[in-house]
Structure 1
Amino acid sequence: MAALKACSALVTGANRGLGLEMVKQLLEARCSNIFDACRDPDGPNSEEYLPYLRTAAKAKGKPGMSCDKAAVINISTDAASMSIMPVLKEPFPFFPYSISKVFKNPKTDGLQKIIKESAKKVGSLLGKNGLNLLVNNAAVLPQKTLLTATVEDMQSTFNTNVIGPLFVIREYLPYLRTAAKAKGKPGMSCDKAAVINISTDSASMSIMPVMKEPFPFFPYSISKAGLNMLTIYTARDLKADEILCISIHPGWVRTDMGGDKAPIDTRKSVEGLMRVIGSLTEKQNGAFLDYTGKTMPW
């Protein structure tokens, strides 16, 4: 098990695949506050958490109920919560040109309000120690190519895979800052305060041209390249707060998104992710790594 000692963590897209496995391993590591942000908190996979919650409840050794013992907090909205952002027909405004062009969308304020309300709910449960670890895992992967991707495909993928993580980082920033200050010592680590953006090797402009198989994931690859730029901005702009940020490639994993041909199962991938995340320092701030710790080319 990884030497990750974060007291509090939030994982988006945690109702299946990598997100679900990450929450399970955080539970195994006895992370005291874990928030599962997903579309359907009461879905069929939610029962996989029960053995870990029962273990936590028994380990407390005293009667009664509390969030310090074991609890399920559902964080969801009519607009798919923080896990899978709404598929809006119009894109978002005012995004840095280095990530994308500027669009106009009058619905942005509503989406930000949804995330803001969810963040306030989590913040009310975190207390004075704040949020140590924020994992932007939620993503969509439409199987489209250069010739078949529509404007809507591109916009909706970008909204979920880039704009969603941006808004989540913004709204949870006060709690990350609280955690960074509460640690009371200099330096960066995921035990202190960190943002982990789940990326992909297909976002690499060096790797993508030489991939052995032509993957029809045109919108996905472009959006994840945008997510990598978001990582660079976040690492730079939050450095003074000692909040670490990296992008990480989990490998090609057997999930609904990765498919049956993928060589890695979720357990192996997340074990690697947890080891890497647990070992991060300020030296890796702004890096692009894979689940083994290898540095990925941009």
Structure 2
Amino acid sequence: MEVLNARSVLVTGSNRGIGLELVRQLAEGKNRPEWIFATCRDPDGPRAQELKNLAAKHQGVKIIQLNTTDLSSVKAAAATVTKQLKGTGLNLLVNNAGILDANSQDTMENMCKIYETNVVGTMIVSQEFLPLLKKASQESPLKGMSCSRAAIVNISSIGGSITDATVSRAIPYRCSKAALNMLTKCQSLEFAQDNILCIAVHPGWVQTDMGKSVGQPPFTAEFSVKEILNTIANLAEKDNGTFVNWEGKVIPW
């Protein structure tokens, strides 16, 4: 079994839930990255306190302000990361930031709001950090595609699977995740020439604020993230542009 060996990782939406647990497990792992960029909308707010406590314990965890729906914020974050990396590239971008309002109505306003974060925000972040991903890929001694060389991991949801759609709940959210899956596929085709692996991952139904808003999830964030990290460590060129779950099993579009 392969081990993730990325020198630098950036995680969006890292002040809670899956994002926070990703930062924790990366920082506490035996093969920890040299740089872990943990981004969130309000690093100085009370909801980021747990992340700040984590960063205080681990050198190399850098908290950066990034609002995925604000282009100027994304550009500023990319500039900060570029400066921190001092001429080297970014190996792994995890687009984790996302929203779900289980009680929202199926209105144009709610659809646009959720798309802005779950789809447009992910697209913008990927575009702005693409030069750093390309640099990491070009400089890596590794052959082929891998998350240790250069990769974009988009945290999706089985709710975005058209094949598995059996109930009409959370329509804006589910549509946004279907669109995110298409974005991932398009990214995989566009960035293949640069050997940047792109994949959509369903983390399972996890005990986060988002997960609990629609019921009683069976998975802890600790379990989900452990499995995700094991899965992405073993991804290769054959997996580029696919949609998998936390265990690496392919999910139908």
TM-score where L is the length of structure 1: 0.78
Kept in 1, the 8 Å contact 2:144–2:237? The answer is yes
* Alignment-derived partner of residue 125 in structure 1: 84
- Once the two structures are TM-superposed, the CA of residue 293 in structure 1 deviates from its matched residue by 1.1
Q: How does 1:104-115 map to 2 (within 5 A)?
A: 111-115=70-74
More displaced stretch, 196-205 vs 25-34 = 25-34
* Alignment-derived partner of residue 180 in structure 2: 227
- Once the two structures are TM-superposed, the CA of residue 2 in structure 1 deviates from its matched residue by 7.7
* Alignment-derived partner of residue 98 in structure 1: none
* Alignment-derived partner of residue 40 in structure 2: 38
- Once the two structures are TM-superposed, the CA of residue 182 in structure 1 deviates from its matched residue by 1.0
Kept in 1, the 8 Å contact 2:14–2:51? The answer is no
* 2:245 equivalent to 1:256: no
* 2:193 equivalent to 1:240: yes
- Once the two structures are TM-superposed, the CA of residue 118 in structure 1 deviates from its matched residue by 1.5
Distance 1:142 1:226, change over 3 A: same
* 2:229 equivalent to 1:270: no
Kept in 1, the 8 Å contact 2:147–2:232? The answer is yes
* Alignment-derived partner of residue 103 in structure 1: none
1:198 to 155, 178, 183: 155
Secondary structure at 1:258's aligned position in 2? helix
Distance across 2 between alignment mates of 1:191 and 1:281: 10
Q: How does 1:21-60 map to 2 (within 5 A)?
A: 21-29=21-29, 30-42=32-44, 43-47=46-50, 50=53, 53-54=56-57, 56=58
Q: How does 1:136-215 map to 2 (within 5 A)?
A: 136-143=95-102, 148-209=105-166, 214=167
Equivalences, count: 248
Secondary structure at 1:208's aligned position in 2? coil
Q: Deviations over 1:21-73 (max 9, x none)?
A: 0000110122110111102223355345646753x5xxxxxxxxxxxxx2564
Gaps of 5+ in 2: none
1:283 to 210, 232, 238: 238
More displaced stretch, 242-251 vs 180-189 = 180-189
* Alignment-derived partner of residue 295 in structure 1: 250
User: In the alignment, residue 247 of structure 2 is paired with which amino acid?
Assistant: T
Gaps of 5+ in 1: 57-69, 86-110
User: In the alignment, residue 75 of structure 1 is paired with which amino acid?
Assistant: I
Secondary structure at 1:283's aligned position in 2? helix
Distance across 1 between alignment mates of 2:75 and 2:186: 21
Distance across 2 between alignment mates of 1:51 and 1:201: 30
Distance across 2 between alignment mates of 1:290 and 1:113: 33
Kept in 2, the 8 Å contact 1:144–1:218? The answer is no
Secondary structure at 2:38's aligned position in 1? strand
Distance across 1 between alignment mates of 2:15 and 2:202: 19
Report the identity percentage.
Answer: 42
Secondary structure at 1:129's aligned position in 2? coil
Kept in 2, the 8 Å contact 1:177–1:241? The answer is yes
User: In the alignment, residue 198 of structure 1 is paired with which amino acid?
Assistant: I
TM-score where L is the length of structure 2: 0.91
Q: Which one has a bigger Cα radius of gyration?
A: 1
Distance across 2 between alignment mates of 1:283 and 1:32: 27
User: In the alignment, residue 37 of structure 2 is paired with which amino acid?
Assistant: F
- Once the two structures are TM-superposed, the CA of residue 268 in structure 1 deviates from its matched residue by 0.3
Kept in 2, the 8 Å contact 1:24–1:49? The answer is no
Kept in 1, the 8 Å contact 2:90–2:132? The answer is yes
- Once the two structures are TM-superposed, the CA of residue 217 in structure 1 deviates from its matched residue by 1.1
